[in-house]
Amino acid sequence: METSGGSESSGGEDAEARRSRRGHVLAELLQTERIYVQEMGSILSGYKEEIEKPENQHLLPSALVGQADVLFGNLHELFTFHQDVFLKDLERSISATELVALCFVEKRETFFRLYSYYCQNIPRSERLRETLVDTHLFLQACQLRLGHKLPLAAYLLKPVQRITKYQLLLKDLLRYSECGAMTTGLQQALDCMLVVLKCVNDSMHQIAITGVPVSVDLNQQGELLMQGSFLVVSENKRDLRIRIRPRRRHIFLYEKAMLFCKPATKNNHNKATYHFKNDLQMSQIGLTESVKGDLRKFEVWRQGRSEVHTITAPTTEVKRAWVDRIKRVLLDQLKELKGERVKQYGAQHRTLIQTSSWDMGPPNQQTRPHPPTSNASRTASCDIHDEPCWSTDPSDDDEEEPDHTPAVGCPLMALSDYTAVGASEVSLREGQHAELLKVGCAGWWYVRLAGGHGEGWAPAAYLDQRKTSRSSSRSHDRLHDH
């Protein structure tokens, strides 16, 4: 029996109905957690271990040799945490909603650390996967031995899908709960998962960056802290012609750099890409918090103000969040420089320290964000409509598509269920028919669902071209010949 922090005695049948619905949601949470753990374990044993065996090296695609850690990221850590810790906590707590909520809250730092790393690795894994073919005989043989309906690429999306599922289940629990300790704990748990979900969202935007020069290695810029769209005016003392009118720029704030990217024009499918324009190393910049005439503006500039970027945020709240985070990064840099290095840095950056940005004193130094507490903060969910979660505007990359890509208009069938992450995607149900409308990059297709059930982007790994029996037999024979 479930205990409750709220009063259900006066609710009569309504209270009993809510209790019943909560029970169904809790059962789904536990059941899907067990499936998630089982799927991660099968990926590791059926793919990663096989890829790392010395006797299999000659069978691998050349691009995959020695790259297992890039392809899988820290999936083994995720598996160990969920199997040995989180699943066991859920099994012990499943009879009480408040205790289930506490499982999420108490493990929030672990969730953030593990999923942050996994998400930060997604762009590297995506780039590697673009060079692979799921129908490669070695990978196909692994899939056949495991009895998986879906190829490897689909299973590597499971952690992203799981984080999305957690916040949906927690929202359902909140909907069916009474006010009091129960809803307080559930709201804290939901806020925790929305922070992790924002990390997923930010990482998906990273995949969309194109044209980054070799000298700017994104893997060396540290954690992605924030990203968003701004109006930017740039000035350069060495070339007065560079003062330009405001331009729309999507800015990515890393621990070690700020990237300024030009958003590509969205097509009618609402997929965005970002073309690299320039970067500023955080060790070389100053910050001016207030710009006269507009409370939404702030400045970042190179030493000596030789290059100044005036940034206009969409709201004062967004401006404040960015200014606070940039200040925190710059202060953390100062703290890392000890002894003589601090003195040397201070002598070289006197103007930085004297700017009005520092008048308010040092902010909270915690390097990891707390889960948001206000309703406004909870809009970090990937359900937002103004910023798509996923990249892939393939309009300029048609020549890079592999020869095996199906033709536009061909019929497709969903191999398994898929839950959309963001407004531009579409959810799938196993066996559902669809039509291919556009081929994206990084393994994403734009499809129209049969029966008027909508259209949107979906991972190609979850879709299969409805083949003839002859072509299916030919693929089967090739596997057995191998």
Domain ranges in the chain with CATH number 2.30.29.30: 209-360+375-380
Task: Reply yes or no on whether the pLDDT at 359 is more than 60.
Answer: no
Which has more confidence, 423 or 38?
38
pLDDT band at 305 (very low <50, low <70, confident <90, very high): confident
Q: Quick: pLDDT tens for 45-84.
A: 999 999 999 999 988 888 888 999 999 999 999 999 999 9
Class of domain 12-207: mainly alpha
Kindly report, residue by residue over 38-53, the tens digit of the pLDDT.
Answer: 999 999 999 999 999 9
Per-residue pLDDT at 375: 36
Architecture in CATH of 394-481? Roll (2.30)
* Whether the predicted pLDDT of 166 surpasses 50: yes
CATH 2.30.30.40 in the chain, residues?
Answer: 394-481
Dump pLDDT digits (tens) for 85-137: 999 999 999 988 999 999 999 998 899 889 888 887 887 888 788 777 655 78
What pLDDT is attached to residue 358?
Answer: 33
CATH 1.20.900.10 domain range(s) in the chain: 12-207
| HEC secondary structure over the chain | CCCCCCCCCCCHHHHHHHHHHHHHHHHHHHHHHHHHHHHHHHHHHHHHHHHHCHHHHHHCCHHHCCCHHHHHCCHHHHHHHHHHHHHHHHHHHCCCHHHHHHHHHHCHHHHHHHHHHHHHHHHHHHHHHHCCCCCCHHHHHHHHHHCCCCCHHHHCCHHHHHHHHHHHHHHHHHHCCCCCHHHHHHHHHHHHHHHHHHHHHHHHHHHCEECCCCCCCHHHCCCEEEEEEEEEEEEECCCHHHCCCCEEEEEEEECCEEEEEEECCCCCCCCCCEEEEEEEEHHHEEEECCCCCCCCEEEEEEHHHCEEEEEECCCHHHHHHHHHHHHHHHHHHHHHCCHHHHHHHHHHCHHHHHCHHHCCCCCCCCCCCCCCCCCCHHHHCCCCCCCCCCCCCHHHCHHHCCCCCCCCCCEEEECCCECCCCCCECCECCCCEEEEEEECCCCEEEEEEHHHCCEEEEEHHHEEECCCHHHHHHHHHHHHHC
Q: Average pLDDT, whole number, for the chain? A: 77
Q: Work out the average pLDDT over 147-156.
A: 89
Query: Does the pLDDT of residue 348 top 80, yes or no?
Result: no
* pLDDT recorded at residue 112: 85
Class of domain 209-360+375-380: mainly beta
Which pLDDT band, with edges at 50, 70 and 90, does 1 fall under?
very low
